[in-house]
Structure 1
Amino acid sequence: MRISGTTAGEIAGSVRDLVASGELAPRAVLPPVRALAAELGVNRNTVALAYRRLVEAGVAETRGRGGTVIAAVPQLAREGVGVGGALIDLASGNPDPELLPDILAAARRGRYSQPLYGMPAVDAGLAEWACADFAEDIEQPFRTLVAHGAVDATERLLNAHLARGDVVAVEDPCFLASIGTLRLNGYRSAPVGVDGAGMRPDALRAALEEGARAVVCTPRAHNPTGASLTEERAADLRAILAGHPQVLVIEDDHFSAVSARPYHRITPSTTARWALVRSVSKFLGPDLRLALVAADTETTVRLEARLSAGTTWVSHLLQHIAHELLLDTAVHELHERAREAYARRSGRLVERLHAQGIEVPSRPDGLNVWVELDVDGRSVVDALAQRGWAVRPGHLFVRDPATHQGAIRVTSSTLSASQAEAFAAEFAAVLGDLRPANG
C-alpha cells in the first residue's frame, strides 16, 4: 500500500487514487493513524484529518476498534424481491394488482402532446389538482413539484439541505428504502421508536437532542408496522418539533388515497424547511414512478434545481396518465374499494392471529401486519417457508439488526379469508415448535 503525502488533502487524495486504480479494494483496512503518521513523517492529527475527509466523502468508514476501512457499496434489502417457487407470497409489500387502475387506458385519454426541452417541468393540470389536494391539509404557503416517487423525493430533499454525516431521525422499524437512502448517502440515523399511534414523542425528543437535522415520518399506514398517527400523537410531535425550527421535516404520506385513517400533520408552523410527499405507487401503480411534493418556497427552489426541465424532469406522459386517473370517478370508486379491502384483509389476519393467541396490539392500516415475537424472527421465516409461506424477517427494517431479532412482517394486501385462517394456524404451530418446552 503506497499512501503518500504530507498534508491531509494530499494523503486523502493518495488514498482515493489507490481506490480508483483498484489497489485498495472495498473493506481493505487502512493503516492505523499513528503508524501512517510515523511512516509519512507527519503529525498524527494530519492523518486523522485525512481519514475524516475520506469518511465524509464516503470513500471510507470507521469501525471503532476495527479501524478505518475502504467503504463498499451497501447490500440493501428491497421490497418485492426474493420470493419465488411455490411459496404463498406474504412478503412482497406490494398492493393488490386487482385494485390498481388501467394505466394504458388512461394514457389514451385527454390531451397529450410531446413536450420539448424548455417546457415547464410539471404538467399544468396535475399541478392544479395537487395544489387543491394539498391545500386541504396545509395551512402554510407552499409550492408543488413532481418527483420520481417518494424515495426519490425524500433522497433529493435530504440532499438539498444536509451533508454527509448529518443525523436523520427515522422510525424504528422503518421502510426498507429509508434505510437504503440513509446508508447510500452517508447520513447517520437516529432511530425513533414506534407504537400503535406512530412515532413516540420521547424517542423523537431524544433523536433531536442527539443532533438530528432532519425528521422523516410516515403519518399513516407506516411500513412495516401499519401504525398511523392519532390526532393527539401528532399534536405531541408538533409541540416537540416547534422547539427545533431549523430541523427539516419530511412527511411521507405514501398511502394517502386508500388509507383508512385521516392525515394528521406533525409539521408545526414554526418549521422553516418542510415537505409533504404523496406518491401514487400504492393506488395508481408502482410503475408510474411519480410522487407529488408540497414544500416551503426555499425547499422547492432547491428541489426544482435537482428536477429542472431539460435534465431530470418527470416524464410528462406519466404526469398526464396520473392526472387522468386522479380525475376519473371510476378510479375514485376503485380507491374506495381498495381502502375497504385492505382494511378488511389486515383486520381479518389480526383477528385470526388473536384467535391463535398471537398478539398484534393495534389494528394496522396499509398493506402489512407487524408481529412482535419472543423467538428469533429468522427462524420463524425459515420454518414458515418450509410450510409454504413467505414472510419478511423484522431485522431487515431496523437500524441495528443485532438488537431486534424477534419480529416478522406479513403482507396482507391479497390475503383471502381461507389463507388468513390457514396461515394463522401454521404460524401458531411454528411458534409452538420454536419455543422452549417449559415456555
Structure 2
Amino acid sequence: MTLDISGRSASEIAESVRARIERGELLPGDPLPPVRSLADELGVNRNTVVAAYRQLTQAGVIVTRGRSGTRVADLSPVAQEGFAAGSVLRDVGTGNPDPELIPDLSRALAGMAGRPVLYGEPVIDPELEQWAREWMRDGLPPAAQLRLTITSGAADAVERLLAQALTRDDAVALEDPCFLTSIHTVRIGGYRAVPVPVDDEGMTPDGLRAALEQGVRAVVLTPRAQNPSGASLSARRAEELRGVLEDHPYVLVIEDDHFSLLSQQPFHSVIAPGHRRWALVRSVSKFLGPDMCLAVTASDPETAERLAMRLTPGTTWVSHLLQRLALSLLTDAGTMAAIERAGAHYAARNAAFVERLTAAGVPADAGDGLNVWIPLPVPARAVAEQLMRRGWLARPGDEFVLGGDAPSRRLRLTVHDLADLDAERLAADVAAAVRAAGGRLVTREVA
C-alpha cells in the first residue's frame, strides 16, 4: 500500500510524503511503507526511496527506528520544568530552587560597570576563565588537556555539543528516567534517544554497554543529583563506566554536573585519561538563579574548537556583563557560604519529608538534588490524580521515562520549600492518594 505516495525521483517522492503530512493525511507516529514495498509499487530503484527517506529524515519530517520501521515524526511538546501555568493547585512538581536561597545580586550588580567589550575580543572573560579553570579541573584526569567555553546555560551547552558532533537520526544514550530538557534537546535535534537505565548509583554499566552496541555516537549523563532520581555516581560505578567506555574513545561523553556546588555528594567522572571526545558542563542556575543563563564547559581541544566556532563573538557569545557578575558572586566568600548553606538546606528538607512519608506508609529515599523521587505501589498518574483532588499538583514519573510502555510507578516532588505543617499534610495526602488508587501502605513494626 503506497498511502497515495507518488513520484519517480527521490525529490518527488519526498515532496509527496511531505504534502500528505501537511494536509493532515499522515499524522505523527503513522508508519510509512518499507523501502522495498514502496519501491516495488512505484516502480523505482530501492536506492531512490532510500534517498527520499533520507531527505525527509534530515529535514526532521520522519524518523527511522530500525526494525520498528519509519514513521512520521512526532513533534508534540515535551513536558518542561517550572511552574504549571494557570493552576490553582499547590504546585509541588516545579523543580525550582528556593528563591529565598538565591544570593542577592544587587551589591554585585553595582560593580559591573567597566570598559565596553568589542567585536574580536576573547569570548571568555579572562578573569572568569582563570577562576573557572580550577573549578572545572577538579575531579577530571590530571593529564586531561582542558579547554573552556562559556554558553548560555547547561541546556545550551548540551545542544551545541551534540550539534557539532552529530547529524539527524544519530543515536544518543540518555539516562532513563531522564531530565526533561535533555529529552527535549534530543528530540528537537532530530537525534535518536537510546535509554540507559539508572539505579541508585547512576547510569548502569550493562545499560551503557547495550547502548554502545547499538551505535550511539554520544552519551549524556549526570554524575550527581540526577534529575529526577537524585542518584549520584559512586566511585565504583564511575570506574565501571570508564571500563565500558574504554573501547569507544571517540564517542562523545557529556557530563552535566548541574547541581555541582550544591551537591552533598563527591564528584566522580567517567572520563578516562585516554578518552578523546568529552565535555564536562557546570551551570550556575541552580545556585545563582535560573535567570543567570551561564554555564562553563570544559572539554578536549577538538570539541572546544568546534564549540567555539558556534559561539562567534557578535553572534551568540555570552555577555561579558553576565560573566563578570557570575565571577563577582563566585569569588565572594559570603555568597559561597550562602550556597553551601543552601545545599545543606535542600538535603535536610528532602530528608525530613522522606522520613514523614515513610512514617505514613510510603517508603522512599531522599537522594541528592532539588527533588525527591517517590516509589509507589500503583501507577503514578492515578496517585497524581488523587493528589489533585486534595489540592496538590505533582509530577508523575511517566514524563521522565524513555523506555517501555508500562506506566511509571514513581512520583517526582519538589518539597524543600514547604513549611513543616504543609510537608506533614502532603505526606499524609500522598499516603491517602495511594490508598484511594488501590495501593497498600507499608506499616512500620513497633519494637
Q: Report how far residue 163 of structure 1 moved.
A: 1.6
User: Which stretch of structure 1 is more off in the superposition, 63-72 or 225-234?
Assistant: 63-72
Distance of 1:113 and 1:203 partners within structure 2: 51
- Of 185-194 and 272-281, deviating more is 185-194
Which residue does the alignment assign to 1:121? 123
Question: In the alignment, what sits opposite 1:27?
Answer: 27
CA contact (8 A) 1:94 1:413 kept: no
1:227-272 CA-partner distances (Å, limit 9, x unpaired) = 1111111111112112211211100000111111111111111210
AA of the residue aligned to 2:305 = V
2: CA distance, partners of 1:340 / 1:57: 47
How far has the Cα of 1:116 moved from its partner?
A: 2.3
Count of residue correspondences: 436
- Cα distance in 1, alignment partners of residues 247 and 14 from structure 2: 39
CA distance in 1, matches of 2:351, 2:271: 30
Gaps of 5+ in 1: none
**Percent of aligned pairs sharing the same letter:** 50
Counterpart for residue 432 of structure 1: 435
Alignment match, 2:391: 388
Q: Counterpart of 2:269?
A: 265
Distance in 2 of aligned mates of 1:116 and 1:433: 63
2:249 to 245, 248, 259: 245
* Greater shift in the superposed pair: 280-289 or 64-73: 64-73
Note if contact 1:193-1:199 (Cα within 8 Å) is conserved in structure 2.
Answer: yes
> For residues 110-149 of structure 1, what are the structure 2 equivalents within 5 Å?
110-138=112-140, 139=142, 140-149=144-153
Closer/same/farther in 2, CA of residues 68 and 208 from structure 1, 3 Å limit = closer
Shift of 1:48: 3.9
Cα gap change, 1:134 to 1:34, in 2 (>3 Å)? closer
Q: When the two structures are superposed, what TM-score results if normalisation uses the length of structure 2? A: 0.90
Would you say the 8 A contact 1:95–1:367 is kept in 2?
yes
Cα distance between partner residues in 1 of 2:255 and 2:68: 37
* SS of the residue 2:228 aligns to: coil
Q: How does the TM-score come out when normalised to structure 1?
A: 0.91
d(CA) in 2 for partners of 1:40, 1:243: 44
* Compared CA separation, residues 26 and 335, structure 1 to 2 (3 A): farther
Q: How does 1:354-393 map to 2 (within 5 A)?
A: 354-360=358-364, 362-393=365-396
What's the secondary structure of 1:191's corresponding residue?
Answer: strand
Structure 2's unaligned 5+ residue stretches are: 443-447
CA distance in 2, matches of 1:275, 1:438: 44
**AA aligned opposite 2:102:** L
Stretch deviating more after TM superposition (287-296 or 76-85): 76-85
Shift of 1:100: 0.4
Partner of 1:286: 290
With over 3 angstroms needed to count, the CA separation of the structure-2 counterparts of 1:123 and 1:44, relative to structure 1, is same
Aligned to 2:445: none
Contact kept? 2:176, 2:403, Cα under 8 Å: no
Amino acid at match of 1:133: W
CA displacement at 1:329 relative to structure 2: 1.2
Residue 357 of structure 1 deviates from its aligned partner by 2.1
Give the corresponding residue for 2:63: 61
- Counterpart selection for 1:398 from 397, 401, 405: 401
**Aligned residue among 157, 161, 164 for 2:165:** 161
CA change 1:66–1:263 in 2 (3 A) is closer
Kindly indicate whether residue 178 of structure 2 is the aligned counterpart of residue 150 of structure 1.
no
Deviates more, 1:28-37 or 1:268-277: 28-37
Which stretch of structure 1 is more off in the superposition, 26-35 or 362-371? 26-35
- Judged with a 3 Å threshold, the aligned counterparts in structure 2 of structure 1 residues 438 and 99 are, in CA distance, closer, same or farther, namely closer
Note the aligned Cα RMSD (angstroms): 2.6
| Cα distance change, pair 314–429 in 1 and its aligned pair in 2 (3 A) | same
The answer to which of 217-226 and 85-94 deviates more is: 85-94
Q: 2:343 aligns with which of 339, 343, 350?
A: 339
SS in 2 for 1:293: strand
* 324 and 11 in structure 1: CA distance in 2 versus 1, 3 angstrom threshold: same
- 1:266-289 per-residue CA deviation (whole Å, 9 max, x = no partner) reads 111121000000001100010111
Amino acid paired to 1:89: D
Partner Cα separation in structure 2 for residue 210 and residue 185 of structure 1: 19
